[in-house]
Amino acid sequence: MKTRAFAYPYLAWMTLFVIAPIILVVVYAFSAAGGGFTFSNFSGIAAYSAVFLRSFALAGIATAACLLLGYPLAYVLSKEKPRLQRVLVMLIMLPMWMNFLLRTYALMTILENTGLLNKFLALLGLPQLNIINTPGAVVIGMVYNYLPFMVLPIYSVIVKLDRSLIEAAQDLGASPDRCFTRVVFPLSLPGILSGITMVFVPAVSTFVISQLLGGGKSMMLGDLIEMEFLGTSYNPHLGSAIALVMMIVVVICMRLMNKFGSGEEQAVIL
């Protein structure tokens, strides 16, 4: 289809507002406060390897948890009546319209040692849980905030699966389990890859969640970068360098992941 020209306005936009700022970031990353080209920002980054590892590890765990919860949810959603499906899909997005900070505060109210969860457990006579201010709470916070982004892509793919393929597999004698692992799951892979992208990438760079739910004790990349811009010494150069390294690692992770999927279909969001 001869639709290339449709993209030209956006390409112009991209050049101005996506590429130019990125070039600015690269320039900042490779310069120091006094000006001039330097690698000094990058040599300092090795000191933060613990923060890098923690961010990627926690983001990875959160993504896996989102997948384990999100996939069955998407599956069940896809089987409901169409009108109910639409309502349920909207209901999944609705919490995202309450401010992120407020939702995290509310999670704190629930997870705290004197919070609602523990009060409820006490009523049932169960032992108290000490979740708040641990990396576990940070993961819970991330899963809570990003679950809808995992559910929606998977749902949109499963709901459009060609039912005849599934029926054919059953006609050929596949048990429900085999049907799932051999037909449904592989066909839903683009949705899964897309969901993983939409959860993992922002999870690596969140900053508020670890401050509020982790008690500020599990410093993540987002906190680190924010500190360089909003910390005691305003150091945009180091901040840009860390952000650049983070982006490169994320791109590598995404490329690796896309190898599992079919080449053409890329990230399916919805």
Partner 1 sequence: MKLIKFRSALAAALVFALVFALTACGGTGSGSAASGSGAASASSGAASSAQKGGEVNVYNWGEYIDEGLNDQFEKATGIKVNYTTFDSNESMYSLLKSGGSSYDVIIPSDYMISRLIQEGMLEKLDFANIPNFSLIDDKYKKLEYDPTNEYSVPYTSGTVGLIYNTKVVTGTVDSWSLLFDEKYSGQILMFDNPRDAFGIALKYQGHSLNTTDEGELNSACELLRSQHPYLQGYVMDQIFNKLESGEAAIGPYYAGDYLTMLDTNPDLAFCRPKEGTNWFVDAMCVPKGAKNKANAEAYINFMCSTDACLANMKEIGYTSANKEACEKYAADLDAAAYDIMFPTEEELKNCEIFTNLPAETLALYDKLWIEVKA
Partner 2 sequence: MKKTRAFDPAESRPTVGGRIFTGLIYFLLYLPIFVLIAFSFNASKSRSVWTGFTFKWYGELFRDSGIMSSFYLTLILSLAAAAVATVLGTFAAVGFYGMKRRWRAAFLEVNNIPLMNADIVTGVSLCLMFVAGRAILGYELGFGTLLIAHLTFDIPYVILSVMPKLYQLDRNLVDAAQDLGCTWLQAFFKVVLPEISPGIVNGAIIAFTMSVDDFVISYFTAGSKIMTLSMRIYSMTRKRVPPTINAVSTILFVSVLLLLVIINVRETRQEAAKKRRQLN
Element (H, E) at 6: none
The correct pick among 133, 188, 205, 240 for binding partner 1 (CB under 8 A) is: 133
Number of residues that bind partner 1 (CB under 8 A): 29
Minimum distance from residue 36 beta carbon to partner 2 (Å): 18
* Cα distances (Å, whole numbers) of residue 240 to 31, 38, 176, 202, 216: 10, 13, 51, 17, 22
Q: Which of residues 31-90 bind partner 1 (CB under 8 A)?
A: 48, 50-51
Residue 131 binding partner 2, by CB under 8 A: no
Residue 24 binding partner 2, by CB under 8 A: yes
Centre a 10 Å sphere on the Cβ of residue 147 and count the other Cβ atoms it contains: 21
Tell me which stretch binds partner 2 (CB under 8 A): 30-38, 58-66, 100-108, 125-133: 100-108
Q: Which does 75 bind (CB under 5 to 8 A by kind): partner 1, partner 2, none?
A: partner 2
The contact pattern for partner 2, residues 62-91, with x = CB under 8 A and - = no contact, is -------x--xx-xxx-xx--x---xx-xx
Residue 112 CA to residue 70 CA, distance in Å, equals 25
DSSP code string of 161-208:
S-HHHHHHHHHTT--HHHHIIIIIHHHTHHHHHHHHHHHHHHHHT--H
Structure tokens at 262: 């079919």
Task: Give me the residues paired with residue 31 across strands.
Answer: 37
Binding site for partner 1 (CB under 8 A): 48, 50-51, 105, 108-109, 112-115, 133, 211-212, 214-217, 219, 223-224, 227-235
